[in-house]
Structure 1
Amino acid sequence: MRLTRRHSLQIAAASLGAGLLPRIAAAQEAGPFTHATEAGDVVIHAVDHASMVWETPSGVIFVDPVGGAEAYAELPAPDLILITHEHGDHYDQPTLDALPEVPMITNPAVADMLPQAMRERVTVMANGDTGTALDLPIEAIPAYNITEDRLKFHPQGRDNGYILTIGDKRFLIAGDTEDTPELRALTDIEVAFLPMNLPYTMTVEQAAEAVTAFAPRVVYPYHHRGSDLDAFAKAVEAGGSGAEVVIANWYPNGEE
């Protein structure tokens, strides 16, 4: 694992309530974060929890936008919106209503929930579908739970993750998932966004094991409220994949 000085982890002792996991307390980077591709730079802005904005050479992509239009007021306007699934921290109709009327990609369940007028600009992608968005190749991959007491949160076949190929690099948005066989089998991933919080997605150990299996060059823990990111970084290092762990500031208001 390569932890750059800019992304170094500093864990401060914190007073935590009983039963809470320790949290990353310092050295969270506000970004934005730039990744070079042969087509041009991809600039990534962490907005909140699972919401982010990507500036790509082909246009601006909003991923799972929630929190109202004010959360995006200082960011470039979208050319495309991606939604992984229906939960309120990923799909928020009032936020969508307040954003520009641009093309959207959603899983089938979210498409069915949208107002009729909005459905006219939606491309529906189910698990395994491929296509293009902003002239970029995109794949919808499965995102689901595999642990018995978590199956109700994200049933197999309903929700999406996405892989976008930008220039010569493949970028993974895992969505709300555990370390499924499909996730572990991925190859040639440059940048990966992996969730880790209970009871909804993965433990930090599961996420680190997934990193060991599919070996992205860079991994961002996201959707990690309450998770021990120091333990994740150490587990990634122990796994020997060589992945760089980037700790972005997903909780700018301190509510992590």
Structure 2
Amino acid sequence: MQITRFGHSCLLVEAGRARILIDPGNYSEGWTDLDGPDAVFITHRHPDHVDPARFPQFIADRPGLPVYAEAGVLEDFPAIGGVALGAGERVAVGDCTVAAVGGRHAVIHPEIPRVGNVGLIIDGPGEPVLFHPGDEIDTVPEGVDVLAVPLMAPWGKVSETIDFVRAVGARFVIPIHDGLLNDRGFALLAERVALMGAGEFVPLGSGWPWTAPAVR
């Protein structure tokens, strides 16, 4: 499995015969130049996870590219012709299976309505299992090898992040959701997660491909 991050929460996951793009939002760069993803998955409707300015044209330029998204995304972008994805559903892409979990975005504030959110578990034969939770850290699936952890968000604090990383217990942890951090903020939070979390922290930067070690 090779994972390339395009900043914030946007990942390109290449596993088996599948190239899967996740959460191409407006804090991310470089994903618009991709030629051949096999599918796009979007965890929820917030613009830092699906760019309202660039994503519709990205899809228009790639006729037939499958889009699987939490239902609220399709309400916002009816023209993209995507398929609604709810918790408990599974989608096959090449040799991989993408399972949706969770269902609701983390609480930002009690007075702000919670939107839908689906975390994504990507599993391929002989490949590590990747978990991208979107914006929710209440769901803790089993058997995860690589956890994409939201490093900083208006709805989170570092103690919750550390507890989430410990609960999942993945072999490797890569950062996502860091678009509001400067370099010093990233270093501080990454150090906390690396020291107090679980597994090996991989400080994957934007545009860096990383190959996850094979399943033991």
Would you say same fold, with TM above 0.5? yes
Task: Select 1:63's aligned residue among 19, 22, 26.
Answer: 22
| Residue 148 of structure 2 corresponds to residue 211 of structure 1 | no
| Residue 129 of structure 2 corresponds to residue 170 of structure 1 | yes
Which residue of structure 1 aligns with residue 98 of structure 2?
138
Q: Deviations over 1:193-247 (max 9, x none)?
A: 11132423x22221111111120011112112324543443454335x3x01011
Which residue of structure 1 aligns with residue 214 of structure 2?
none
Which residue of structure 2 aligns with residue 112 of structure 1?
75
Superposition CA RMSD, Å: 2.8
Pick the structure with greater CA Rg.
1
Which residue of structure 2 aligns with residue 92 of structure 1?
51
Once the two structures are TM-superposed, the CA of residue 145 in structure 1 deviates from its matched residue by: 1.7
Quickly say closer, same or farther: Cα 1:114–1:251, change in 2 above 3 A.
same
Query: Using the alignment, how far apart are the partners of 1:80 and 1:87 within structure 2?
Result: 19
Mapping of 1:97-246 within 5 angstroms? 97-99=56-58, 100-101=62-63, 102-116=65-79, 118-119=80-81, 122-142=82-102, 143-146=104-107, 149=109, 152=112, 154-155=114-115, 158-168=116-126, 169-177=128-136, 179-180=137-138, 182-183=139-140, 186-200=141-155, 202-224=156-178, 225-226=180-181, 227-239=185-197, 241=198, 243-246=199-202
TM-score by length of 1: 0.67
2:19–2:39 CA contact under 8 A, matched in 1: yes
Query: Using the alignment, how far apart are the partners of 2:30 and 2:162 within structure 1?
Result: 30
2:122–2:130 CA contact under 8 A, matched in 1: yes
The total of aligned residue pairs comes to: 198
Query: Using the alignment, how far apart are the partners of 1:231 and 1:91 within structure 2?
Result: 25
- Unpaired segments of 5 or more residues in structure 2? 209-216
Q: Deviations over 1:112-153 (max 9, x none)?
A: 22234x22xx22111222232334222111152257x36726
Quickly say closer, same or farther: Cα 1:74–1:87, change in 2 above 3 A.
closer
| Residue 5 of structure 2 corresponds to residue 46 of structure 1 | yes
Q: Percent identity?
A: 20
Quickly say closer, same or farther: Cα 1:79–1:134, change in 2 above 3 A.
same
2:130–2:147 CA contact under 8 A, matched in 1: yes
Quickly say closer, same or farther: Cα 1:130–1:251, change in 2 above 3 A.
closer
Q: Which runs of 4+ in 1 moved over 4 A?
A: 67-70, 73-76
TM-score by length of 2: 0.78
- Unpaired segments of 5 or more residues in structure 1? 1-41
